[in-house]
Amino acid sequence: MRARVYQPRPVEEIPLYRGVGEAWHTLKYQQDNMLVATRTTNVPGVVGRLRQIIELTDHQAAAIGQTIERHITEGRQAFRATPYYLRLMAANPFAPEYNGQAVEGIDPIFLQAVPTPADFHFPDAGHHGAMAEESRSIGAVYQRYWDRVAFFVANNESCPVRCKHCQRGNSLDAAKDISNRDIELGLAYIRDNPNIEEVLVTGGDALNAGSRLGYVLEQLSRIDHIETLRIATRLPVTLPMGVTDQVLDTIVQKSGEKTVYFVTHANHPHEITEEFAAAAYRITSRGFRLRNQTVLLRHVNDDPATLTQLFKGLFNAGVDPYYLFQCHNESGISHLITPLQQGQLLMRLVQGTRGTTLPKFRMNAAGGAGKVNCEPSGVGEELSDLEVLGGSQRVLHGWDSRIHHRVEELGAATSAQFKASVSAMRAFGWDDYRPCVILRDRGDKVTNLGGLKKLERLLEEKRQKERATKLGFQEPHITNPATEWVH
């Protein structure tokens, strides 16, 4: 295994897990010791245990507790995370150090997993359920393209980590688990629609669907017009011990002659660990292809060095970087969303890295447009043509030839909401908190576009040097005689 992996803190250095020994590596220990906050949970107890994993001031702990309580009151899955995933965090997520090196910003795992007061700062921004999955075609099935359906086989609580940026947030929060009747309706729908060639088997987390996964795969394997089964799972990232030989053997046995491939979801190089690489190997060594979808998240991975490291780490662990997604405009995550132009600049900046490590940049657009190509063209186009800075009123071309207007990738707020949010989060301890939102009372001005200027400068440097030295490469000796043609 050649993947360069992240080494998290030793388990023994984390007070909550001290003395666990070899049990740490077992699925049972990880499942029995998840931190979970639900309606029946003692929230102060959960926050107390979190404080034995990461350093939190009294103010931070109280604010996180209040945020969790509010999520619960409003009917959301507030917080759920495995010991494995929580260990990936720096001891102090607000002043992180990794292997003795201090790094600016907030810990990227903390931002993906732990509720913060920012979740409620822009109440008018975004949509609950940007994927609109309540409009499932029938039963457990949702058809978005003419030849593909998503099949929701796993319960709402099957995800070992409740990711802050989840695009399925609304359906996961709805406490409407998929019933056996939904499963049968979905199977009947697929049997009756010979245009369906591929089924995305998903959840929640499909690998955590228990016996239902084998049942559904077996039924699908008997349908002639189904060619491909895609298994969606974040377990390699959030609970790699859950990628067991047993579940993989079930998939081999039940999927018959169908082509099966897996898609997982890593967003940061710190998620590429020895355990991740081992889980990926267990999947690929059975002959399954394994791809990754990354969501572009502000403060988590919105810089070229982080993305390049992530994509290379994935590739070297046997996982193909497949998509980089523009984060959807879900409510409660405005502070994690980047302007579309940032993704386009980032794609320009990582251009030149090995093509095998480069994903496609797409937006999974609400409103049925499906995956929309967001990549900047490499031909005859300058950045100024990329028509983005307004942040709204974009025209999208969907897969079905329909044109979708008024797609806003950023959240919107008033100036007062924005100022209050920045001030509250600075008091919370997040010094570089700078959400990028559209200010409705300031003529739709978009805040904090300074990051784009920085990326544009980086791009200019890259152009001048022909190679992106900021990505950590040495200045190469370019011997290609064709460079004489470059002016």
User: Strand, coil or helix: what is 391?
Assistant: coil
Instruction: Count the residues of the shown chain that bind ligand SF4, applying the rule CB under 6 A.
Output: 10
Q: Does position 234 bind ligand SF4 by CB under 6 A?
A: yes
Minimum CB distance to ligand SF4 smaller for 266 or for 347: 266
The rounded distance, in Å, linking the Cα atoms of 167 and 331 is: 10
Residue type, 396: L
Map 221-265 to HEC letters: HCCCCCCEEEEECCHHHHCHHHCCHHHHHHHHHHCCCCEEEEEEC
Q: Distance of alpha carbon 56 from its chain centroid, rounded?
A: 25
166 contributes a contact to ligand SF4 by CB under 6 A: yes
Closest to ligand SF4 by CB, 118 or 159: 159
- Decide whether 161 or 199 has the Cβ nearer to ligand SF4: 161
What contacts 24+ positions apart, CB below 8 Å, involve 240-246? 240/84, 240/273, 240/275, 240/276, 240/278, 240/279, 241/25, 241/26, 241/27, 241/30, 241/84, 241/275, 241/279, 242/27, 242/30, 242/160, 242/207, 242/208, 243/207, 243/279, 243/282, 243/283, 244/27, 245/282
Of 88, 141, 159, 347, which one interacts with ligand SF4 (CB under 6 A)? 159
Q: How far is the CB of 159 from ligand SF4 (least distance, A)?
A: 3
Strands (E), 307-402: 320-326, 360-365, 370-373, 394-397
3-state secondary structure of 144: strand
Candidate list 14, 81, 106, 163; residue touching ligand SF4; CB under 6 A:
163
247 residue type, one letter? V
Phi, psi of 261 (to 5 degrees): -140, 160
Q: Residue 205 interacts with ligand SF4 (CB under 6 A)?
A: yes
Residues 318-337: x where in contact with ligand SF4 by CB under 6 A, - otherwise, as a string: --------------------
For ligand SF4, which stretch binds (CB under 6 A), given 86-94, 137-145, 159-167, 392-400?
A: 159-167
Phi (first) and psi of residue 324, to 5 degrees: -110, 120
CB of residue 367 vs ligand SF4: minimum separation in angstroms? 20
> Distance (Å, rounded) from C-alpha 34 to C-alpha 49?
10
Q: Which of residues 85-114 bind ligand SF4 (CB under 6 A)?
A: none
Q: Could you give the CA distance from residue 12 to residue 42 in angstroms, rounded to a whole number?
A: 26
Minimum CB distance to ligand SF4 smaller for 81 or for 452: 81
Which CB sits closer to ligand SF4, 168 or 254? 168
Q: Which of residues 260-299 bind ligand SF4 (CB under 6 A)?
A: 265
Residue among 275 and 459 whose Cβ is closer to ligand SF4 = 275
- List the beta bridge partners of residue 259: 228
By CB under 6 A, is residue 187 in contact with ligand SF4? no
As measured in angstroms, the least distance from the Cβ of 58 to ligand SF4 is 29
Parallel/antiparallel/unpaired status of strands 148-152 and 198-202: parallel
Which one-letter amino acid corresponds to residue 332? G
Q: Binding of ligand SF4 at residue 173 (CB under 6 A)?
A: no
- Select 60 or 202, whichever has its Cβ closest to ligand SF4: 202
Least Cβ distance, residue 16 to ligand SF4 (angstroms) = 22
Q: Give the residue, chosen from 121, 136, 168, 394, that forms a contact with ligand SF4 under the rule CB under 6 A.
A: 168
Q: How far is the CB of 154 from ligand SF4 (least distance, A)?
A: 9
**How near is the Cβ of 158 to ligand SF4 at its closest, in Å?**
8
Per CB under 6 A, does 154 bind ligand SF4? no
**Following DSSP, what letter does each residue of 150-167 receive, concatenated?**
EEE-S-GGG-SS--TT-T
CB 170 within 8 A of CB 133: yes
Q: Which of 71, 121, 144, 162 binds ligand SF4 (CB under 6 A)?
A: 162
Residue 436 lies near ligand SF4 (rule: CB under 6 A) = no
- Please report, as ranges, the residues that interact with ligand SF4 according to CB under 6 A: 159, 161-163, 166, 168, 204-205, 234, 265
